[in-house]
Amino acid sequence: MASATWLHTFSLSYALRPPSILPAIFHRSSPSGRLFSYLSGSSLPPLGPVHAQAKRGSAMKDEDVASRDNLRFEAPLKIVEYPDPVLRAKNKRIDSFDDNLKKLADEMFDVMYKTDGIGLSAPQVGINVRLMVFNPVGERGEGEEIVLVNPRVNKYSKKVVLFNEGCLSFPGIYADVERPESVKIDAQDIKGARFSVNLSGLPARVFQHEYDHLQGVLFFDRMTDEVLESIRAELQALEKKYEGRTGLASPERIETYKRKKVAAGFGKS
């Protein structure tokens, strides 16, 4: 995995590179070929209701930092499916940049590739910490493996684009989601080094999808009512599957789904 070295170089030099360089990385084949159709130039009106922005400048509390226990995992990791409450739980900041963290990121790449993913967040493998991995090419040994720890969004573009998104926690479900075309982010790499980077196109899409997971936001939270209706039966089937497997009532139901009032759209977070 080349992520740490790559990220460090990337963070220092990206601002000096022409903006086309990152998209060029992703003009390679993807497992489905679907990703070639990534739209980058929509002038569609804003569609989705949105919410859950991180609070900026709030004092950091001890309980917001992940403990050793919070970072404990067993390999191989398994993908957690909707409506498991772990997907809505608070994700803690990471302040131990040790071998365990590196192993966790490696295991996340393993399960991401095995399940045909292009990105994965820690809560999706049952670990409620602020860690994501992605490789928009989705093939081991191709593209770039990116690990982001404690990412924050500094700026969203005004321009938004639509994309038919899928989520590993909602197997087989795809639907249109509108998101800003580009984002400026601050994050730490696997060794804890801080950096800033601008992402656009597919990398920006995958980043935002995973960043939402770190905020407890799921892709259907950002769908229009019409789009949501088109996948309602599939969401209900997942809720039924969860109830059958756990013997518990589904912690959320699309039938009684209410968008959160804190909806704030994309903005500074």
Ligand X SMILES: CSCC[C@H](NC=O)C(=O)N[C@@H](C)C(=O)N[C@@H](CO)C(=O)O
Assign 162 to helix, strand or coil: strand
Q: Is 167 an interacting residue with respect to Fe ion (CB under 5 A)?
A: yes
Binding pattern for the stretch 21-50 against ligand X, x by CB under 6 A and - elsewhere: ---------xxx-xx---------------
- What whole-number distance in Å separates Cα of residue 76 and Cα of residue 176? 31
Taking the complex as a whole, how short is the minimal distance between the CB of residue 15 and Fe ion, in angstroms?
A: 29
Q: 88, 127 in Cβ contact below 8 A? A: no
Residue 128 site contact among Fe ion, ligand X, none (CB < 5 to 8 Å, cut-off depends on kind): none
- Element containing residue 176 per DSSP (H, E): strand 174-180
Instruction: Report how many residues bind ligand X under the rule CB under 6 A.
Output: 19
Residue 92 site contact among ligand X, Fe ion, none (CB < 5 to 8 Å, cut-off depends on kind): none
Residue 91 site contact among ligand X, Fe ion, none (CB < 5 to 8 Å, cut-off depends on kind): none
Q: Is 143 an interacting residue with respect to ligand X (CB under 6 A)?
A: no
Taking the complex as a whole, how short is the minimal distance between the CB of residue 218 and Fe ion, in angstroms?
A: 7
Quick one: the chain helix, strand, coil %, rounded to 5?
35, 20, 45
Q: Is 214 an interacting residue with respect to ligand X (CB under 6 A)?
A: no
> How do 119-121 and 131-134 pair as beta strands?
antiparallel
Where are the alpha helices (H) located in the chain, listed in sequence order?
3-13, 21-25, 99-114, 201-214, 225-230, 232-246
Q: Give catalytic status of residue 210 as yes or no.
A: yes
| Active-site residue (options: 107, 165, 181, 210) | 210
Active site residues: 210
